[in-house]
Homo-oligomer: A and B are copies of this chain.
Amino acid sequence: MALIVHKYGGTSMGSTERIRSVARRVAKWARAGHQMVVVPSAMSGETNRLLGLAKELTPAKPGGDYYRELDMLAATGEQASSALLAIALQAEGLDAVSYAGWQVPVKTNSAYTKARIESIDDQRVRADLATGRVVIITGFQGVDDEGYITTLGRGGSDTSAVAVAAALKADECLIFTDVDGVYTTDPRVVPEARRLGTVSFEEMLEMASMGSKVLQIRSVEFAGKYRVPLRVLSSFTPWDIDIAEEAQSGTLITFEEDEHMEHAVVSGIAFNRDEAKISVLGVPDKPGIAYQILGAVADANVEVDVIIQNISKDGKTDFSFTVNRGDYARTMELLKDKVLPGLGAQEVVGDTKICKVSIVGIGMRSHVGIASKMFRALSEEGINIQMISTSEIKTSVVIDEKYMELAVRTLHKAFELDQPAA
């Protein structure tokens, strides 16, 4: 008998028919003798519906209290879906109870709409589990010290599930979603993309941060911090699939590098086209330049991803970085109006037609020549690299957006990701 946490996303909870299917799947696990905790998202579309209503009423200048009320509003979506799941489980003959974040309680800080979990009290849940009850805990939400409802931000239900699993020291946390696992790359771009049986926590983190929609990045961080065994699998298999088979399906995110690990050097190709490139040209090369430029950008709440400073020539250097495309226009404006005048730089240029492609692999730590293999493969296809950024287990390049699919396919093949792991 194990203590298992299931998490179901909005699509899995999208209708009463889907909720019934979730209930049957959970009932199957409960009847197999497991202690079950379930963390559901709101029914798909519900959070958007609620926030759409709020938008129609939003103050011209929203203050902090606005976000507190937004959380009060948005949290109702998960409360409703959780109660519906409890009812569906009762219809399957199980004893089931649903708890909102404040009832557990799931304590968070007061950063409304993007709160962070601080603690989870396991007492009430453990008492229920001991009596054989299935416990449903609303995803996405918690309560702060003042007793106000908070939410964790988009995709926060993943984080809730992992945090609950950590607090209960669950044997495994199963994230049921509309894909059947983590792939070497997006199968829509590379049909030969292969599902990974296991992926390391660090690799998952790099892939999640690259915009892979499988798991919210904070949930992966949380899983890493508390070493929660995490499995991503499909909720679209028939609910009565054999439980032993289901328990081995999907992708397991693992923390034990030496065991159960596939031995590929590169595990996956991540990519996104959500970024834009900005270069400040002819900057006098003296201390404090990076801070003068990026400090102003950070003050405007713009997040910067890749940062490159080229070597100096004639006492001048070029400084480039990428930002989210949505922040491009105002960042350009900010630099031209506020930063350039005091900087003595030549000009600011930008490009929104770029993309970032990365190879990710924990094996890169112990293998040399991986990056150069990447650059060669791209050069053989005539793809020009505009920026390069490396970390211990990732090498990213910024290239012209139009080459994105070609680059991903090329790298997927070059690193033999279409072949089963050794």
Interface on A for B, CB 8 Å cutoff?
A: 16, 19-20, 23, 50, 53-54, 56-60, 62-63, 65-66, 68-70, 72-73, 75-77, 79-80, 82-84, 86-88, 90-91, 93, 95-98, 100, 102-103, 147-149
Contacts and interface: CB of A to CB of B under 8 A. Distances in A.
Contacts of A98: 69, 72
Contacts of A59: 87, 90-91, 93
A87 B71 CA distance: 11
Contact of A53 (B75, B84, B103): B84
Nearest to A60: B91
A291 B87 CA distance: 38
B54 A87 contact: yes
Given A72-B98, A73-B80, A76-B79, A16 B87 contact: no
A97 B53 contact: no
Contacts of A23: 57
B103 A147 contact: yes
17 contacts: A19-B57, A20-B57, A53-B80, A57-B91, A59-B91, A60-B91, A65-B86, A65-B95, A66-B87, A69-B86, A69-B98, A72-B100, A73-B79, A73-B83, A73-B84, A76-B79, A79-B79
A53 B60 CA distance: 36
A130 to B, nearest CB: 16
Contacts of A88: 57
User: What DSSP secondary structure best describes chain A's contact surface?
Assistant: helix
Contacts of A53: 16, 80, 84
A148 B69 CA distance: 22
Contacts of A16: 53, 56-57
A305 B202 CA distance: 71
A62 B19 CA distance: 18
Given A88-B57, A90-B59, A72 B83 contact: yes
A378 B93 CA distance: 57
A163 to B, nearest CB: 20
A290 to B, nearest CB: 39
B60 A87 contact: no
Contacts of A72: 79, 82-83, 86, 98, 100
Given A16-B53, A73-B84, A83-B69, A58 B91 contact: yes
Contacts of A50: 80
A90 B62 contact: yes
